[in-house]
Amino acid sequence: MESAEDLRRTAAGSKPLDELPAGYRQGVLAVETIVFGFSLSFMKFWTFDSSGSWSAQGVVAVLVLALSIVLQIFVMWRSLDPADSRLVEYHRTRRLLMLSMAFLFLAVVFSVIVDSGWFGSTQIR
């Protein structure tokens, strides 16, 4: 529930206290777009362009990467929602972005480990 002061401030033309300053959402969308582009490029490389056979560990890396991409799409959808201008929604969206980036980091590290042959060669036929 908004207080009388918030209503007066909104009526006077200034932003309510729980809204983001201008430019924050655009910055988050820019970061999301860059991370999303990297994720899709890495997915293309890891699944189609990389040499060698598939292994069970490689499939796990792709699944973690796919989870990150799905989270990134959800974060972009939330960021485009006008309600994301409220601080509470913005902070939730930002936490989801950080979670998707953590999954992306895990997928990249795991794929490097798999590609190095550390697990051995357990190919899928």
CA 50, CA 47: separation in Å to the nearest integer? 7
**Ordered DSSP codes for 26-39:** HHHHHHHHHHHHHH
Residue 27: domain span? 22-116
Is 97 part of any domain? yes
Q: What is the mean pLDDT of residues 53-66?
A: 88
Phi-psi region of 112 (alpha: psi -120 to 50; beta: other; left: phi over 0): alpha
CA 82/CA 87 separation, integer angstroms = 12
* Total count of domains within the chain: 1
Residue 55's beta-bridge partner residues?
Answer: 123
Confidence tier at 97 by pLDDT (50, 70, 90):
very high
The answer to whether residue 73 is domain-embedded is: yes
Q: What is the pTM of this model?
A: 0.76
| Average predicted confidence (pLDDT) for the chain | 82
Does some domain include residue 74? yes
